[in-house]
Amino acid sequence: MGDLIRDHRDSIVAAIDGDFGGRSRFETLFAEYFVLLDSLTYTRRRLRGWMRPRRRHVDWLVAPGAANRVVPQPLGVVGVIVPWNFPLLLSIAPLLSVFAAGNRASVKMSELSPRLASLLAGTSGRYLDAETLQFVPDSGGTGRAFAALPWDHLLFTGSGATGRAVLAGAAPNLTPVTLELGGKSPAVIAADFPLETAAERILWGKLLNAGQVCLAVDYVFVPERSIDAFVRHCQDIAAARYTDLNGLDYTSIIDERSYRRLLDTLADAEARGGRLVNLCPGQVPDTKRRRLAPHLVLDPTDDMLVMQREIFGPILPVIAYREREEVVAYVNGRDRPLALYPFARSRAEQAYYLTRILSGGVAINDTLLHVGQPDLPFGGVGASGMGHYHAEEGFNTFSKLRPVFTQGPVSAVQWLFQPPYGRRATALLDLLSRLKG
């Protein structure tokens, strides 16, 4: 897979740019291409250790000479359903785990990634035969039929609504499914953390790919007395970093439907009493290229669309809080998030949120970067997904960890517990039960 993406790097970048109608070249190279090469290097270095049989303890009752081990073995053929927002990363990264475990794969690309899908489908055969890997372009409607095929494992990345449909489609075949979904991932800035630093790191993660990231901060809790200062920092940061929203460093919204949805989300928030802050007020984004200026939404309420569904765009609701208990109660009253981003200097404050809010993953004092750590698993919990991939957990997900017991020369169980079960067998079982208890 490394040769495929290295040999076609520029063509891949151009294809993704074309599918988006304007995608930052640097963001494609950094957030997709580089992360893949890093993960590939990590996997190669550790694969031999993952493949080794794993010795397990043998119960003493079995008798000397017996052995237990767990042997990783391939599952077979894995189906992978890929979203459009990081189409290279989210198609190739799963394959690193799939192939490391010895499987074959079929990858269904998004209908919103036709150029990249065509490129990968047309070039992959030079590196792996069609029996090992196939890329399947989607002109619309292929996903449901793909999920219903009798895969040995199915990995889906996308929205919660589609994830439920994929799970239902896989159920008749009892296909095991790994779901990587999204949701509303919160950040919280503790009073002891430098506000400007938090604003810089949150905006970086929020505006990468124009906010079209499943792990992006979907709303941020800011101490009530710091709201105005946080807004000023965000305005200054955006003015310095995004001097031209129509330039090469800012990404377009993927299609007209998504663009209109985001405009409607802003209009709904304003109509319901929210205060909108355009972080690039002097610029006129190109509507034909679906460039949307980054916005803060102040005073958000639960009846607003921006607080009811995953935003997937450059819009950040800001919630004022007084006590940290308010934050925990709010987040725990909703679906489990894919990520949690606590910003706090105090270890005790970090631990407070870490132990009281369950999420798929956590990045402390930053955003997004945990997903790029090659030795960390990635996955959601509850409504944000099920199962893991990346790292050794990915190898395990796409393997059958097969337990193997080898009996020694003498079987104590067979010798001691043969019917008819008399007093001796019963007394011995009672004794062993007391010893085990």
Q: Is 311 inside a domain boundary?
A: yes
Question: How high is the pLDDT of residue 422?
Answer: 84
Note whether 233 and 317 are same-domain residues. yes
Q: Is 380 inside a domain boundary?
A: no
**Among 32, 214, 280, 349, the one annotated catalytic:** 214
Note whether 256 and 369 are same-domain residues. yes
Read off the pLDDT of each residue in 328-348 and give the average, rounded to a whole number. 97
Measured CA to CA, the distance from residue 329 to residue 338 in angstroms comes to: 17
Note whether 167 and 280 are same-domain residues. no
Question: How high is the pLDDT of residue 392?
Answer: 96
Q: Is 383 inside a domain boundary?
A: no
Q: Is 381 inside a domain boundary?
A: no
The domain spanning residue 102 has which CATH number?
3.40.605.10
Question: How high is the pLDDT of residue 408?
Answer: 85
Note whether 33 and 103 are same-domain residues. yes
Q: What is the maximal distance between C-alpha atoms in the chain? A: 91
The residues near 18 (Cβ < 8 Å, ≥ 6 apart) are 115
Note whether 334 and 204 are same-domain residues. yes
Question: How high is the pLDDT of residue 73?
Answer: 97
pLDDT at 23 over 90: yes
Note whether 60 and 174 are same-domain residues. yes
Question: How high is the pLDDT of residue 414?
Answer: 76
Note whether 305 and 429 are same-domain residues. no
Domain total in the chain? 3
Measured CA to CA, the distance from residue 368 to residue 376 in angstroms comes to: 13
Note whether 106 and 157 are same-domain residues. yes
Note whether 128 and 204 are same-domain residues. no
Note whether 218 and 366 are same-domain residues. yes
**Nearest residue to 385 (alpha-carbon basis) of 422, 353, 366, 358:** 358
Model confidence over 72-81: pLDDT tens digits?
999 999 999 9
**Among 32, 180, 200, 349, the one annotated catalytic:** 180
pLDDT at 63 over 70: no
Tell me whether residue 180 is one of the annotated catalytic residues: yes
Note whether 196 and 243 are same-domain residues. yes
Domain extent, residue 426, equals: 407-436
Note whether 172 and 238 are same-domain residues. no
Describe the strand order of the beta sheet including 315-321 as a list of residue ranges: 275-278, 295-298, 315-321, 217-223, 185-189, 339-343, 361-362
Contact criterion met (CB below 8 Å) for 118 and 192: no
Residue 395 vs residues 50, 57, 103, 377: alpha-carbon distances, Å: 7, 22, 10, 10
At 437, is the secondary structure helix, strand, or coil?
A: coil
